[in-house]
């Protein structure tokens, strides 16, 4: 598996990571724990070293899953987790607003270390920017954790360029995690140039459009109970029908490359910058292998030009999040 470096401290990870949220949270019922442990270890066997989780996924159960699955290979992997929410006091899924107060950050770090069965968190992201807490205080709290040896690297998620610059001035930011794919390209305007200027890596989540860009969904696909996509404007049947044009574009390129739409979508991201590391999620070994296959696909400058030209003619329908969730992003 090819390697890439995130940030000026050169956090080395595989060109593709594995987003683990869907194993426990977000897409309906949690998957069988032993099956997911087997999948996580299969990912390690196939060379993947970069695994993404968060306190809020479950809550807690996704971190516990990674802790158990990766403990035997801890020295071979990079684990990223996140802080930034007030969780429901009864332990139910969801949250009760943002909370990035320094004391809360340090509490989350201690609890996450225990669940992850590790002595250090490799990459600790602020999950969403908290407007009630100056980002300098957030960066300072993570800086303290780094000095204490409990965290190695600081990350932000869905932060705007002003926040990124202010945080980076206090504690160098190793990576920004935000949504980025062929059907959500807003980071290209300001965020990606800023990351390049500052030497910060970029970790796109939902690089396959929450499953839509795989070509395995259409307007007739039934979203199961508890699948958060059923609340997203971009996943109404009407929007899915309209947005099929994006999948058709990926399919056509794939036919020329001997690749699936998902592989083309990931290869397109990898071709944008050498410091971009997508984290597609899956619960199936076959999809894991399919995603890994994207790393070997080379898109030429002409391929990328043709994709951009075709994509520029497609109007993606539907907001990516409901308004109350979109407001929690800094983009």
The pLDDT tens digits of the residues spanning 279-301 come to: 999 999 999 999 999 999 999 99
Is this model's pTM higher than 0.95 or not?
A: yes
Spatial CB neighbours of 203, under 8 Å, sequence gap ≥ 6: 6, 17, 52, 80, 155, 175, 176, 177, 178, 276, 277, 278, 279
pLDDT digits (tens, 9 = 90+) for 171-202: 999 999 999 999 999 999 999 999 999 999 99
- Beta-strand (E) ranges in the chain? 3-6, 11-14, 18-19, 50-52, 78-83, 85-87, 95-98, 121-126, 151-157, 173-179, 201-205
Which residues are marked as active site? 57
pLDDT of residue 324: 86
Q: Is 206 left (phi over 0), alpha (psi -120 to 50) or beta?
A: left
Residue 331: pLDDT band (50, 70, 90) is low
Spatial distance between the Cα atoms of 227 and 106, rounded to a whole number of angstroms: 31
CATH class of segment(s) 3-326: alpha beta
């Amino acid at each position: 598996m090819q390697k890439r470096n995130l940030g000026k401290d050169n956090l080395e990870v595989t060109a593709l990571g594995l987003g683990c949220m869907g194993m426990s949270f977000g897409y309906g019922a949690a998957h069988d724990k032993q099956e997911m442990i087997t999948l996580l270890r299969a990912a390690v066997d196939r060379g993947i070293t970069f695994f993404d989780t968060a306190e809020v996924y479950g809550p807690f159960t996704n971190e516990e899953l990674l802790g158990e699955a990766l403990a035997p290979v801890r020295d071979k992997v990079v684990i990223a987790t996140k802080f930034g929410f007030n969780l429901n006091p009864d332990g139910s899924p969801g949250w009760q607003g943002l909370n990035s107060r320094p004391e809360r950050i340090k509490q989350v770090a201690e609890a996450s270390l225990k669940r992850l069965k590790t002595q250090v968190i490799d990459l600790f992201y602020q999950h969403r920017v908290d407007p009630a807490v100056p980002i300098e205080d957030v960066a300072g709290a993570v800086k303290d954790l780094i000095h204490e040896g409990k965290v190695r690297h600081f990350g932000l998620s869905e932060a705007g360029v002003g926040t990124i610059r202010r945080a980076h001035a206090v504690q160098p930011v190793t990576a920004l995690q935000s949504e980025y794919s062929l059907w959500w390209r807003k980071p290209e305007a300001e965020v990606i140039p800023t990351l390049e200027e500052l030497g910060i890596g970029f970790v796109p989540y939902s690089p396959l459009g929450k499953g839509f860009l795989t070509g395995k969904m259409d307007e007739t696909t039934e979203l199961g109970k508890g699948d958060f996509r059923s609340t997203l404007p971009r996943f109404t049947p009407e929007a899915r029908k309209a947005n099929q044009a994006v999948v058709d574009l990926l399919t056509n390129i794939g036919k020329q490359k001997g690749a699936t739409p998902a592989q083309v979508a990931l290869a397109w991201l990898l071709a944008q910058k050498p410091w971009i590391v997508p984290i597609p999620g899956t619960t199936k070994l076959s999809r894991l292998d399919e995603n890994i296959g994207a790393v070997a696909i080379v898109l030429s400058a002409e391929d990328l030009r043709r994709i951009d030209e075709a994509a520029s003619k497609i109007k993606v329908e539907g907001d990516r999040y409901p308004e109350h969730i979109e407001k929690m992003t800094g983009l």
